[in-house]
Structure 1
């Protein structure tokens, strides 16, 4: 079905769309279903895998849970035996108008209030940002000329803002958990989109066939089913190509699963390999850039991450988020780092696959391993 219009969805699609499903491996039948977004018309699918973990209560009793991140910035903790939330979830009223023609939106959506929400502070005209006064003014004009009613702004034929948007929030890569401390680590992306539904007869204005898939941003994404031929998607950004929202555009967060509290949050990445109009600044300004990929934590108190717009593999102190080491990569990486120990020598390695960061012209095909010098490991 089309991502941004759901007027003709059947009951099966309504039940299983944007949901976590537990399947009985012996029968293939669903044991339970927990829906993260009702009647999803925002492309808020669940791009990262759920993570299994056991949470202890004050008496030391364990509850087997499943932790699912989402593009909406909500983190859901479910009892994996039943699919019921372990932390508090509220069904809150959300806007149902202005709705697209033939649409029927859900009047409520689940909000995981028992866990921290990551990277989705509401946008305002005042929060529009720019490198210069002129592009900040441009961003404010674009904001005022768009419909924005929160994270579930109804898609329509009038330009509307989707935030956190189909990019997230929390996207690829998932989370990493230090089981010794109960600390969970997750990265996010903060990039609002300006979108607009386009009827089939109007797609000719954009010279796009509904049988072809053009570039992702700044054009029409075709939708064959339904009354709309596609959706126009643009990053909400200034003429210089800089996002309109206030930085950071990406961060790493640490959450204590024992208390469900945010422990620290730090911006990730610099503008070194990006810049206005696609020109690299070569300046390591730690603005915090959009991230893709996932973190990998260690029992020794480190969090490795490579999915930033600048080309580095980094190690953060898991207790504070402070950067303690980094290595330059030939191109960007969206893979999670892999950590393994050689069975022959007992030496530990960190490996990263680097093929190029999204929206970057620099691509490659590298697998790079790092290790501490023998002079250190043998002490």
Structure 2
């Protein structure tokens, strides 16, 4: 059997599945996978659509899983697109459309590979696909909902591959064996409003905020670890919203974003942030409130069976041994890692989230071949 991943990518791009809309993408996949013998279950939660598909009973042998998403980011400036964002137009060897790279091509490649594999060479084991419609959004009811449902229904995956685009420039050059943690801290400094000509009658929160941001930005969190670069902290905004040049404001706000490695946990970093804020509050007399949002903890799947399996398949198809990296932002692998070992491998991601997002057609076919070899070697 030969399933066409290019045609499937095009069909998925034509589904306008901008987060949190399902757009028909999971309906299409459910029909396709059901016809190929997969048992499909919609795991929808709080208006978010998700799909769990299993081939094989799961009682004997191992279970290999794929994870991915069909939701896409908004178009941005529609007038800036030179093609229909949902048209899946092919020109000069590229397929254009929102989600072409991130990551409808990846989903199409692993779905096509899995369908052909279980049809042509049924394995002694199971193949699972956990596909969400909530990766580009807040991600609370997507892969998390699928994993919750799996726990409640005694479903398991032994090893998982997330099909996110992982290669910076050339097909095959990088896989992700982990990700940095990500968290954001929101600070509010509260003073007393007053006339700028009489600063002794007011309490200006801006110098306190500037002092706090300078302390945080100057601090070295670490120097990196075996698998991670050094953690980073970026001050992303300082906002006072004061239109008057003769008024000392009552409050000012700021935000910092931290990407951290496996030296840290979000709890420990939160403790440090709070301690720094308390020091500045004590020295300035300014009240400082803090709120923290954690997107995910750092994690790593140490090089071993799974990464070696993927590297072997990638090299066989591309001639390149992929670097095992932990660079980049977050992905749903941060949730899967609590269930089983997980590694990410996918296409070149240079145009993801951009206007005129596009993918080389030949790469979609290569990716299906890589995923097919991974399945063949895993169940050999």
Shorter-chain TM-score: what band?
under 0.3
| Greater helix proportion | 2
Normalising by structure 2, we get a TM-score of 0.24
- Of structures 1 and 2, the one scoring higher in RCO (CA 8 A, sep 6+) is 2
